[in-house]
Amino acid sequence: MADVPTNAPIECPGTQSQQAGKVSACNGCANQQLCASGASLPPDPAIEIIKQRLQTVKHKLLILSGKGGVGKSSFTAHLARGLATNEDEDIAILDIDLCGPSIPRIMGVEGHQVFQSMSGWSPVFVEDNLSIMSIGFLLSGPADAVIWRGPKKNGLIKQFLRDVNWGELDYLLIDTPPGTSDEHISIAQYLKGAGVDGAIVITTPQTESQIFPPTTGGGRQMAIDMDVPFIGKIPLDPRIGKCCDEGISYFSEVPDSPATKAYKNIIEEIRKFCASKPANDASEVEN
Ligand SMILES: Nc1ncnc2c1ncn2[C@@H]1O[C@H](COP(=O)(O)OP(=O)(O)O)[C@@H](O)[C@H]1O
Ligand code: SF4
Ligand SMILES: [Mg+2]
């Protein structure tokens, strides 16, 4: 696992790496002696800082998927919009999907400037009670993500978890990179102190049909196998893609569709799940 302490240079190979303390990047780093000796470093202070930072957030949910293109960001956006229909609650999305940070586009705020003040990065407000922060705001183009590898990615993810000034929130939804990479381990580690209510796994029947016969419903079977609740299934509807591309709300555009109904049921399930707050759980949505 590429663990990069907050005080390490950006080229840090990770404290768990064979090269820890031994490469040129380590010269002058405060941890060099400990890293080179193979001793474990004290816990990353960022974990505590992130915990403090997220103390004003009631519920934190990670949105995960095995691979890209399965509807993870669309789901995150709809979950946020659905939750935000309760005007008494404040919702935010943190988009740390370096592979394709699409939340600004889906939420209709692509290309917005983000500001950093003494109290941290200020999120962009989509509605009075719905704000977002995305790594996409910091990229000048899709090629940028490619140059951010390993430790540098982790440093950036950590910075985002640590430095966004959310204020009081009821729900923070974190759109993560697809797959089960180092980044996920880091995200889970950084959020250890802050506590996460649960993880929502997005999958498609097509993805899973190689593993499970399609007739069983891939997502449902996977949820049973993983012993996590299967929250629901969203029908395919090309208008979802269109609304996401145009950055407008599918719920406002198509309020009575089967997909809207499905989203709403799922959102209710997630509300209930968060209200009961069982720790270290995961749930599954089929898209
Ligand atoms: N239920 C759905 N019906 C039709 N298209 C969908 C649905 N969910 C997502 N999409 C579309 O599928 C594509 C991939 O979705 P996206 O949310 O960007 O995936 P990911 O974040 O997993 O990469 C997008 O064009 C999106 O608009
Ligand atoms: S000594 Fe090297 S491996 Fe250890 S934290 Fe510093 S840069 Fe990273
Ligand atoms: Mg995405």
pLDDT confidence of residue 142:
56
Q: CATH number for the domain including 110?
A: 3.40.50.300
What is the residue range of 16's domain?
A: 1-42
Give the residue, by CA position, lying nearest to ligand 2 atom 3.
20
Pick from 219, 260, 263: nearest CA to 271:
263
Asked if the model's pLDDT at residue 279 lies above 60, the reply is no
Binned at pLDDT 50, 70 and 90, residue 276 comes out as confident
| Strand (E) or helix (H) holding 49 | helix 45-53
Please tell me which of 44-48, 63-67, 118-122, 166-170 the model is most confident about, judged by mean pLDDT.
166-170
**DSSP E strands, 72-213:** 91-95, 115-117, 120-122, 124-127, 130-134, 169-175, 198-203
Structure tokens at 10: 């950006």
Q: Does 145 share its domain with 236? A: yes
Q: Does 64 share its domain with 153? A: yes
The dihedral built from the CA positions of residue 273, 253, 72 and 77, taken in this order, carries a sign that is negative
Task: Report how far apart, in Å, the C-alpha atoms of 142 and of each of 66, 113, 139, 253 are.
Answer: 21, 17, 7, 29
Look-up of token digits 């935010």: 92
Nearest atom (ligand 1) to Cα of 244: 27
pLDDT confidence of residue 87:
96
How many structural domains are present in the chain?
2
Among 61-70, 149-158, 167-176, 247-256, which stretch is predicted with the lowest mean pLDDT?
149-158
Q: Does 85 share its domain with 9? A: no
* Any atom of ligand 1 within 6 Å of the Cβ of 74: yes
The dihedral built from the CA positions of residue 257, 286, 221 and 269, taken in this order, carries a sign that is negative
> How does pLDDT run across 213-224, given as a tens digit for each residue?
333 455 666 666
pLDDT confidence of residue 281:
42
User: CA-CA distance, 28 to 25, in Å (whole number)?
Assistant: 8
Strand-by-strand arrangement of the 198-203 sheet: 124-127, 130-134, 91-95, 169-175, 57-65, 198-203, 281-286, 230-233
Q: Does 1 share its domain with 130? A: no
* Any atom of ligand 2 within 6 Å of the Cβ of 154: no
Give the residue, by CA position, lying nearest to ligand 1 atom 15.
71
Task: Report how far apart, in Å, the C-alpha atoms of 180 and of each of 64, 122, 157, 184, 185 are.
Answer: 9, 29, 15, 6, 8
Q: Does 23 share its domain with 141? A: no
Q: Does 65 share its domain with 189? A: yes
Instruction: Please give the model's pTM, rounded to 2 decimal places.
Output: 0.82
Q: Does 53 share its domain with 32? A: no
Nearest atom (ligand 1) to Cα of 175: 21
Q: Does 169 share its domain with 275? A: yes
Q: Does 128 share its domain with 3? A: no
Mean pLDDT in residue range 265-274? 92
Q: Does 29 share its domain with 115? A: no
Task: Report how far apart, in Å, the C-alpha atoms of 161 and of each of 49, 85, 238 are.
Answer: 9, 25, 33
Q: Does 52 share its domain with 108? A: yes
Structure tokens at 215: 């007739």
* Any atom of ligand 2 within 6 Å of the Cβ of 16: no
What average pLDDT does the chain have?
A: 83
> How does pLDDT run across 29-40, given as a tens digit for each residue?
989 999 999 888
* Any atom of ligand 1 within 6 Å of the Cβ of 200: no
| Strand (E) or helix (H) holding 230 | strand 230-233
Q: Please report how the helices 150-163 and 45-53 are oriented relative to each other, as an axis angle in degrees rounded to 10.
A: 40
* Any atom of ligand 1 within 6 Å of the Cβ of 249: no
> How does pLDDT run across 192-201, given as a tens digit for each residue?
888 888 888 8
Kindly calculate the radius of gyration of the chain based on its CA atoms and give it in whole angstroms: 19
With contact defined as beta carbons under 8 Å apart, do 49 and 194 qualify? no
Nearest atom (ligand 1) to Cα of 76: 17
Among 17-31, 74-88, 186-200, which stretch is predicted with the lowest mean pLDDT?
186-200
Q: Does 14 share its domain with 129? A: no
> Quick one: how many helices (H) and strands (E) in the chain?
12, 10
Nearest atom (ligand 1) to Cα of 65: 22
* Any atom of ligand 1 within 6 Å of the Cβ of 102: yes
